[in-house]
Structure 1
Amino acid sequence: MTDAEDRLATLADYGLLDTPMEPQFDSIVEAAACEVDAPIAMISLIDARRQWFKARLGIDSTETPIEESFCAKAIEQDDVFVVPDASVDERFRNYPNVTGGPGIRFYAGAPLRMRNGTQIGTLCVIDVAPRAGLDDEERIALEDLARRTVAAFELRRDMRDARGDDAAGSDASSWLEQASSHLLKAWAALDQIGATAEVAHLERVIVDVDALRLSHG
């Protein structure tokens, strides 16, 4: 399969496209915008013809054509993809979102790399003014938030699969699945009040509970 075919298959498997907005993902784009001091941030998923935004801040549209997508280029990279000034970058300077609204200049996108190795989209930040790039702290923050996005996608898929697995009826598996669900709700609640330290600790707990649940599957 090609990379594009792998991506489409993975997106279908995870059931992410065209789903409602959710607080835990809204909080991730808010945190990304805050960490980088950017007016626009998105969780962007790339299918065959468009980029669709699971969460967005600073823009109204829910999707754009793939021909106008910075993120479609970003997922070709393994690391954070940075465009200091799109207006002078021959790859992007004629994009409608550069020449017109919103007037993109700076872009930085961290790929969302799933467990199977497929990169399905990005967590990205955008500015309407050029920038030199990201400093080390900003880059690390964006990468951490991208990993957090992937962890939430993976956990959701695992929980869905566990519910459909006849073997998941054991007492231990059932309890661990319920624990995962409650932890995700607590994570979203803490995100909404900006409890950064508590959220960081809870993410580690989620990973530990998820590992235990999988070992009992």
Structure 2
Amino acid sequence: MASLALVLLLSYLLGAIPWGLVVARAKGVDLRQHGSGNAGATNALRVLGKGPGLVVFLLDFAKGLVAVVLISTLRVGDESLVGLLGSRPELAAAWGATLAGTAAMLGHVYTVWGRLFFGSWKGGKGVATGAGMLTGLAPIPVALALAVFVAVLAATRYVSLGSILAAVSLPLSLVVLHVLGVESPPPVWIFAVVVPAFIVWTHRANVRRLLDGTESRVGSKAG
């Protein structure tokens, strides 16, 4: 149990680094006071511009990916996650990686570092970190989701709409791959549904603005 607890703690602490706030502060900007007030890459793009916004996205993406491919492999002593997370080594590894990525994603949304150094638990909405997590678990569905995001963004200039539709496409992609004979382990199926649902939930205010016609587009002036 010590290994799993350590993996989850380290993944959360990594995910909780609010890179949007850090990059913005380095440029003399309090990201919480501009745009949507969100600490994620979308607001950084809107407020700071394309370069810093891309940097924040890549750093947030890396948090989820590193948690899945590196932190989840940590072990303490001789403990094995086999039996605790599954009867087979590959199943235990898949569960460990999925839980590590989920912890990083939760850290991104509810950030202890943000609370300690920036005065708020509010982080980003989980899109970039969730994408990094799922890239480590299921790269083909994520590549397809990225194509959906780019297409929607190009057509509408709504980052939020692109993020939501890309998230929804993930479980649909797994279904298509299953039909084609490409199987994924159970934890990937579970979290390919849970993570998109969580992303849609964190975008609930954006959904209201989309329905009202007041959502900001890429290229519009930041507030």
TM over 0.5: no
**TM-score after normalising by structure 2:** 0.23
Q: When you count strand as a share of all residues, which structure comes out higher? A: 1
Structure showing greater relative contact order (alpha-carbon pairs closer than 8 Å, 6 or more residues apart): 2
**TM-score after normalising by structure 1:** 0.24
